[in-house]
Structure 1
Amino acid sequence: MKRPALAAAAALFAAGALLTGCGSTHGSDSGGTSAGASKAPKQDASKAAQEAQQKYQQQLEEATAAHDRAFPAVAQACAGKSAAVPTSPSSPASSGPQPENPKYGENHAYLKTTTLSPLDECRGDAHAARITAELARQTPADPEQAKALLTRLGYPDAKVAQAGQGVQFSFFVPQVGPCLSGTLSNPPRIEVHGPYIEGGCEASRGGH
């Protein structure tokens, strides 16, 4: 918001009020100042929104460039894929059987993930293929080995934990996403998905 401009307008308005009190009348000036003041916040808000969008776009381009430098094979495999997220058609309000609990959907919202674009799906599949190829050479026996393997592949922020005969893992593809999670076993089980609605690549422990 342009505070100096607003301060100057306020000073002019105050001066006009003093002149009016001394017997001078400037009805048209008062109306013009009021109209200008009402337009200023809207213009400032529009400009701020435009600047925020431009900043976001710049950050997205920088993040994509950083990802593509780190994973050139993935970038090449997914070149030309659309980054637009598809919109899912709305389902009929009363089609098919409904759950006994009318709040079932609300209570299980923590299990929902964001929708992936074709570009996200391609990147996720390509990163999963990289991990699968590495596991063909070496299957980690414990979380420590799994962490070392994923770090070597370029996923240092991956979370790992022992799970039966394998090691559970989850991470957000550096810079751009999407999420990959599953079990590093033989054979591996890897799922590509968007972040959960409540945040992160791991589902919350329970609903609401």
Structure 2
Amino acid sequence: MTFRTTPAGAVLLAAGLLALTACGTTVSGSGAAADPSPVPSPVRTPDYAAEAAAAVARHDKLFPEVAELCEGRASAAPAGSAAPGELPTDPEARKYAENHAYKNEAALTPATKCRGDAHAARIKKALDGDDGKGAPKSKEELSGLLTGMGYKLESAGVYASSTGNLSFVLSVPESGPCVTGHLTPPISVKAHGVYMEGGCNEPRGGH
């Protein structure tokens, strides 16, 4: 007995065979759950307190005598140190204060001030020539003395005026603050915060 397949029947037969062969397979886009998108990594916020503590630890390793002297000093900023000083009420004095605000220095914490003062005293003792050599007479001698004491040249500046007077400005390695010295008799060395416009060198010019 011969069976004849009409065009419509052939289409149905092909569709049935396709369904049988596809049984048990997973077709992309057939409703299967897609892989979840990877969760973006959270942006890491720098831990400035930890970085500062690590810097102080490196400083203390370089200068153990200073670390011992300043151990236990508070590292928090003095209350109200971030607030600008009250300007004078007199118009001329007020204008002068505003024009020279660029010379303001950042406040030092008790711990930072202690370190700065200790470094200033340490350097001044060497400049006073307690070793019998006397104070440096040239930029080269002054640079050699400072580097020999552990202060890096890239963070220090040594200067000579037209009359030969020597001075220097440096940032205490790792922890700050700034130390400025003048060898013009009498020798003076002092510690101070960075200037509001940045750096340890006193800015020149007003606003």
Residues 70 and 91 (structure 1 numbering): CA distance in 2 closer, same or farther, change over 3 Å? closer
How far apart, CA to CA, are the structure 1 residues paired with 2:94 and 2:147? 44
Q: Which runs of 5+ in 1 are unaligned?
A: 7-43
Contact 2:121 2:189 in 1 (8 A): no
Q: Which residue does the alignment assign to 1:114? A: 106
2:159 partner letter: A
How many residues align structurally?
163
Indicate yes or no: 2:45 matched with 1:52: yes
Q: Which residue does the alignment assign to 1:150? A: 146
Q: Which residue does the alignment assign to 1:159? A: 157
Which structure shows the higher helix fraction?
Answer: 1
1:141 to 129, 137, 144: 137
How far apart, CA to CA, are the structure 1 residues paired with 2:86 and 2:201? 30
Contact 1:160 1:170 in 2 (8 A): yes
How far apart, CA to CA, are the structure 1 residues paired with 2:197 and 2:78? 20
How far apart, CA to CA, are the structure 2 residues paired with 1:69 and 1:114? 25
- The alignment's TM-score, normalised by the length of structure 1, stands at 0.68
- Structure 1 residue 98 displacement after superposition: 1.9
Q: Which runs of 5+ in 2 are unaligned?
A: 1-36
Contact 2:157 2:170 in 1 (8 A): yes
Q: Which residue does the alignment assign to 2:24? A: none
Indicate yes or no: 2:200 matched with 1:201: yes
Contact 1:168 1:182 in 2 (8 A): yes
How far apart, CA to CA, are the structure 2 residues paired with 1:108 and 1:61? 33
2:191 partner letter: V
Indicate yes or no: 2:66 matched with 1:74: yes
- Structure 1 residue 160 displacement after superposition: 0.9
Residues 187 and 103 (structure 1 numbering): CA distance in 2 closer, same or farther, change over 3 Å? closer
How far apart, CA to CA, are the structure 2 residues paired with 1:175 and 1:91? 27
Computing the radius of gyration from Cα coordinates, the structure with the larger value is 2
Contact 1:169 1:181 in 2 (8 A): yes
Q: What root-mean-square deviation, in Å, do the aligned CA atoms of Structure 1 and Structure 2 show? A: 2.7
Residues 142 and 93 (structure 1 numbering): CA distance in 2 closer, same or farther, change over 3 Å? closer
How far apart, CA to CA, are the structure 1 residues paired with 2:90 and 2:150? 44
- The alignment's TM-score, normalised by the length of structure 2, stands at 0.69
Q: Which residue does the alignment assign to 1:36? A: none
Residues 52 and 104 (structure 1 numbering): CA distance in 2 closer, same or farther, change over 3 Å? farther
Residues 92 and 120 (structure 1 numbering): CA distance in 2 closer, same or farther, change over 3 Å? closer
Q: Equivalent residue of 1:62, what SS?
A: helix
2:147 partner letter: T
How far apart, CA to CA, are the structure 1 residues paired with 2:85 and 2:187? 38
How far apart, CA to CA, are the structure 1 residues paired with 2:50 and 2:74? 18
Residues 99 and 74 (structure 1 numbering): CA distance in 2 closer, same or farther, change over 3 Å? farther
Residues 103 and 74 (structure 1 numbering): CA distance in 2 closer, same or farther, change over 3 Å? same
Q: Which residue does the alignment assign to 1:41? A: none
How far apart, CA to CA, are the structure 2 residues paired with 1:202 and 1:93? 25
How far apart, CA to CA, are the structure 2 residues paired with 1:185 and 1:148? 18
| Runs of 4+ deviating beyond 4 Å | 3-6, 89-94
2:183 partner letter: L
